[in-house]
Amino acid sequence: MSQQSSTLRSAARRTGGLIAASALAVSLAACSTPSAPASGGEGETAGDSTGVTDTTVTIGTHTPLTGPAAAGYSSISAATNAYFDYLNDQGGVNGRTIEYIVKDDGYNPANSQTVVRELVQQDEVFAILNGLGTATHQSVLDFLDQNSVPDLFVASGSTSWNQPETYPNTFGFNADYVVEGAALGQYAADEFPDAAVCMLGQDDDFGDEFLEGLEMALGADGLTEVQRYSVSNQDVTAQIGALQAAGCDIVTLATINGFTALAVGTAAQLGWFPQWFASSSGADYPTLVGYLGEDVAPKLLQGFTGTNYLPMADDEWVELFREINTEYNGDAPFDGNTIFGMSVGYVFAEALAAAGENPTREALIEAVQSGDLVGNGILPLAFGPDSHAAYLGVGITTVDQGVQDYVDATYEVRDGSVSSVDRQPVPLSGAAVPGA
| Domain of residue 409, residue span | 177-308+396-420
133 shares a domain with 24: yes
What's the number of domains the chain is made of?
2
87 shares a domain with 30: yes
224 shares a domain with 349: no
- CATH for 365: 3.40.50.2300
pLDDT attached to residue 154: 98
pLDDT attached to residue 37: 40
Share the mean pLDDT of the chain: 90
281 shares a domain with 225: yes
pLDDT attached to residue 22: 33
What whole-number distance in Å separates Cα of residue 112 and Cα of residue 134?
Answer: 11
267 shares a domain with 168: no
295 shares a domain with 341: no
335 compared with 10, residue with greater pLDDT? 335
**H-helix segments, 131-275:** 134-138, 141-146, 177-191, 205-218, 237-245, 257-269
Residue type (1 letter), 184:
L
412 shares a domain with 319: no
- Is position 428 within any domain? no
User: How confident is the model over 211-228, as a mean pLDDT?
Assistant: 98
Determine the straight-line distance between the first and last CA of the chain, rounded to whole angstroms.
Answer: 21
Which has the closest alpha carbon to 154: 84, 34, 73, 257? Answer: 73
Contact (CB, 8 A) for 434 and 341: no
pLDDT attached to residue 68: 82
SS3 40: coil
Q: Residue 7 above 70 pLDDT?
A: no
Q: Residue 104 above 70 pLDDT?
A: yes
270 shares a domain with 411: yes
What whole-number distance in Å separates Cα of residue 4 and Cα of residue 47?
Answer: 37
393 forms beta bridges with: 412
Which has the closest alpha carbon to 98: 336, 353, 305, 399? Answer: 353
Contact (CB, 8 A) for 288 and 297: yes
pLDDT attached to residue 131: 98
Which has the closest alpha carbon to 376: 173, 179, 77? Answer: 173
- Is position 154 within any domain? yes
Q: Residue 203 above 50 pLDDT?
A: yes
What whole-number distance in Å separates Cα of residue 241 and Cα of residue 39?
Answer: 65
Q: How confident is the model at residue 6 (pLDDT cuts 50, 70, 90)?
A: very low
- The dihedral formed by the CA atoms of 377, 378, 379 and 380, expressed in degrees to the nearest 10: 40
- Is position 57 within any domain? yes
pLDDT attached to residue 20: 33
- Is position 430 within any domain? no
297 shares a domain with 150: no
pLDDT per residue as tens digits for the range 282-320:
999 999 999 999 999 999 999 999 999 999 988 999 999
pLDDT per residue as tens digits for the range 116-149:
999 999 999 999 999 999 999 999 999 999 999 9
pLDDT attached to residue 339: 97
139 shares a domain with 186: no
Q: What are phi and psi of 163, to 5 degrees?
A: -130, 70
Q: Residue 162 above 70 pLDDT?
A: yes
300 shares a domain with 275: yes
User: How confident is the model over 248-267, as a mean pLDDT?
Assistant: 97
Q: What is the largest CA-CA distance in the chain?
A: 72
44 compared with 261, residue with greater pLDDT? 261
pLDDT attached to residue 96: 98
User: How confident is the model over 334-358, as a mean pLDDT?
Assistant: 97
Q: CB neighbours of 127 closer than 8 A, spacing ≥ 6?
A: 51, 59, 149, 150, 151, 152, 348, 361, 364
What whole-number distance in Å separates Cα of residue 178 and Cα of residue 161?
Answer: 13
Q: Residue 10 above 80 pLDDT?
A: no
- Is position 436 within any domain? no
- Is position 427 within any domain? no
Q: Residue 373 above 90 pLDDT?
A: yes
- Is position 387 within any domain? yes
**116-119 long-range Cβ contacts below 8 angstroms, 24+ apart:** 116/62, 116/140, 116/143, 116/144, 117/143, 119/60, 119/61, 119/62
What whole-number distance in Å separates Cα of residue 83 and Cα of residue 332?
Answer: 13
Q: Residue 15 above 90 pLDDT?
A: no
Q: How confident is the model at residue 214 (pLDDT cuts 50, 70, 90)?
A: very high
190 shares a domain with 150: no
pLDDT per residue as tens digits for the range 23-82:
323 332 333 333 334 333 333 457 999 999 999 999 999 999 999 889 879 999 999 999
Q: What are phi and psi of 155, to 5 degrees?
A: -90, 75
User: How confident is the model over 200-220, as a mean pLDDT?
Assistant: 97
Which has the closest alpha carbon to 268: 246, 293, 285, 286? Answer: 293
- Is position 117 within any domain? yes
Q: Residue 397 above 60 pLDDT?
A: yes
- Helix (H), strand (E) counts: the chain: 16, 13
Q: Residue 13 above 90 pLDDT?
A: no
pLDDT attached to residue 26: 32
